[in-house]
């Protein structure tokens, strides 16, 4: 079972509605391309069909994810434990640098925020989950093992 925050659920629902609203547009593109004639060599038709297939696959993926995901109730979690949705200040024990990390169910792919997004299924996310302020977490990364001290939960 996957845990997501209420905000992540809202974003997924908005994305799903946006994809569903594309259905009539894609159907119209297919109809217009079909009217052009021979379907064997009609690139517009095949591109529109491919786009429709990708759109439907993403709709099914999001619907399944929303159906099986559980929204984490942040009010039941103590303030001193890292849990889904938490923003954590970590200090690299090797060089002393500090960065902010946000524990999320699925990364948004945005790089404009102050926090580095970490999914709960990643090595960093698994190490951080249920850590407390003052704990040193060990993270097995592709380039070796790193240790981070949990400085603060924001």
Q: How many CB atoms lie within 10 A of CB 82?
A: 24
Number of helices (H) and strands (E) in the chain: give both, helices first: 4, 7
Domain spans in the chain, listed from the N-terminal domain onward? 3-71, 74-153
Residue 2 has pLDDT above 80, yes or no: no
**CATH class of residue range 3-71:** mainly alpha
Phi then psi dihedrals of residue 123, to 5 deg? -55, -40
**CATH number, domain 74-153:** 3.10.50.30
- pLDDT, one tens digit per residue, over 23-69 is 999 999 999 988 887 777 888 899 999 999 999 999 999 999 899 88
**132, 147 contact by CB (below 8 A):** no
pTM for this prediction: 0.66
Q: What percent of the chain has pLDDT over 70?
A: 95
Q: Give residue 78's pLDDT band: very low, low, confident or very high (50, 70, 90).
A: low
Residue 151 has pLDDT above 70, yes or no: yes
- pLDDT, one tens digit per residue, over 95-138 is 999 999 998 887 777 777 788 999 888 899 999 988 999 999 99
Q: State the Cα–Cα distance between residues 30 and 50, nearest whole angstrom.
A: 10
Given this chain, do its domains 3-71 and 74-153 carry the same CATH topology?
no
Q: State the Cα–Cα distance between residues 53 and 74, nearest whole angstrom.
A: 37
């Amino acid at each position: 079972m996957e845990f997501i925050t209420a905000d992540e659920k809202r974003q997924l629902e908005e994305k799903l509605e946006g994809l569903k609203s594309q259905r009539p547009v894609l159907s119209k593109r297919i109809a217009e391309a079909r009217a052009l004639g021979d379907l064997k060599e009609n690139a517009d038709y095949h591109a529109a069909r491919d786009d429709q297939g990708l759109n439907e696959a993403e709709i099914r993926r999001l619907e399944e994810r929303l159906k099986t995901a559980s929204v984490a109730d942040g009010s039941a979690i103590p303030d001193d434990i890292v849990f889904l949705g938490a923003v954590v200040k970590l200090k690299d024990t090797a060089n002393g640098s500090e960065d902010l990390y946000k524990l999320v169910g699925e990364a948004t792919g945005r790089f404009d925020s102050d926090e580095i997004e970490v999914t709960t299924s990643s090595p960093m996310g698994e190490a951080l989950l249920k850590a407390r302020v003052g704990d040193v977490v060990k993270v097995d990364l592709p380039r070796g093992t790193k240790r981070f001290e949990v400085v603060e939960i924001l």
